[in-house]
């Protein structure tokens, strides 16, 4: 039996790949591009996205989806933000100026440092496959079916810095720089990496989301 999931389309990013991956994992996907009655009753809600933090918030507000997500967060039902969809879960972002986020998790989104811990420059954006490392327990979470050091795929220049260390679910090491790879607060999850582009490991993340 398929699992119903609602995906928010706000004109930012690669919804099609996310939809295909969710359907592959057994989801019955409904796509919503504006707020209307009944959306916040969805059993599961996904906010994907690729692009800039400020642009994402402009599009969410224009469609009334920002307040919808805030209301949904209070229902206790599973929510997943992907890439910039994870970043806007925080209070604010500094990409191309100061921008207010959704405020679901206390913290800020800052630029990935331009150098490694040795002071040598490294590539920005941070692109490629990196091994996930636990920042807190993965038991009974979105990452319950992932083993430490399994690799996932990243494309980003900014990263989340939650105020509460307990909100950091996973990290990766980028030349000695610790980058937040996944966050959690209660029913709310976010992945900086792209599960829809992370092979079987990413599909296992989405399968677990459908079981939450």
Please report, for residues 63, 79, 124, the alpha-carbon distance to residue 10 in angstroms, rounded to integers and kept in the order given: 7, 16, 26
Give residue-wise pLDDT tens across range 145-196: 999 999 999 999 999 999 999 999 999 999 999 999 999 999 999 999 999 9
Q: What is the pLDDT of residue 142?
A: 97
The reported pLDDT for the residue numbered 58 is 96
> Binning pLDDT at 50, 70 and 90, where does residue 61 land?
very high
For the segment 88-146, what is each residue's pLDDT rounded down to a tens digit? 999 999 999 999 999 999 999 999 999 999 999 999 999 999 999 999 999 999 999 99
Give the pLDDT of residue 46: 97
What is the span of the domain harbouring residue 40? Answer: 3-211
Give the pLDDT confidence score for residue 139 in this predicted structure.
97
Write the burial class of residue 1 (CB in 10 Å: 0-12 exposed, 13-18 middle, 19+ buried): exposed
CATH number at residue 23: 3.40.50.880
- Tell me the C-alpha distance between 108 and 164, whole Å: 11
User: Is residue 194 flagged as an active site residue?
Assistant: yes
Q: Is 156 a catalytic residue?
A: no
Check if 23 is active-site.
no
pLDDT band at 35 (very low <50, low <70, confident <90, very high): confident
Tokens read off for 19: 């939809």
Q: Which is the catalytic residue, given 95, 150, 171, 196? A: 196
Per annotation, catalytic residue among 25, 40, 83, 171: 83
The number of domains in the chain is 1
Judge whether 13 and 51 are in contact, CB under 8 Å: yes
Q: Which residue has the higher pLDDT, 11 or 116?
A: 116
């Amino acid at each position: 039996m398929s699992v119903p999931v609602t995906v928010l389309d706000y004109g930012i990013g690669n919804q099609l790949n996310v939809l295909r991956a969710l359907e592959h994992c057994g989801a019955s996907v409904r796509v919503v591009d504006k707020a209307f009655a009944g959306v916040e009753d969805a059993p599961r809600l996904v906010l994907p996205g690729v692009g800039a933090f400020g642009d994402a918030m402009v599009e969410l507000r224009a469609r009334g989806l920002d307040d919808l997500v805030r209301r949904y967060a209070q229902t206790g039902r599973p929510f997943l933000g992907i890439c910039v969809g994870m970043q806007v879960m925080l209070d604010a972002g500094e990409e191309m100026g100061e921008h207010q986020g959704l405020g679901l998790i206390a913290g800020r989104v800052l630029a990935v440092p331009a150098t490694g811990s040795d002071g040598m420059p490294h590539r920005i954006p941070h692109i490629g496959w990196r091994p996930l490392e636990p920042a807190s327990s993965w038991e009974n979470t979105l990452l319950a079916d992932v083993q430490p050091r399994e690799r996932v795929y990243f494309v980003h220049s900014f990263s989340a810095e939650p105020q509460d260390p307990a909100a950091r679910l996973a990290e990766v090491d980028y030349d000695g720089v610790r980058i937040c790879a996944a966050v959690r607060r209660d029913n709310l999850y976010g992945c900086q990496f792209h599960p829809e582009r992370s092979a079987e490991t990413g599909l296992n993340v989405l399968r677990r989301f459908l079981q939450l």
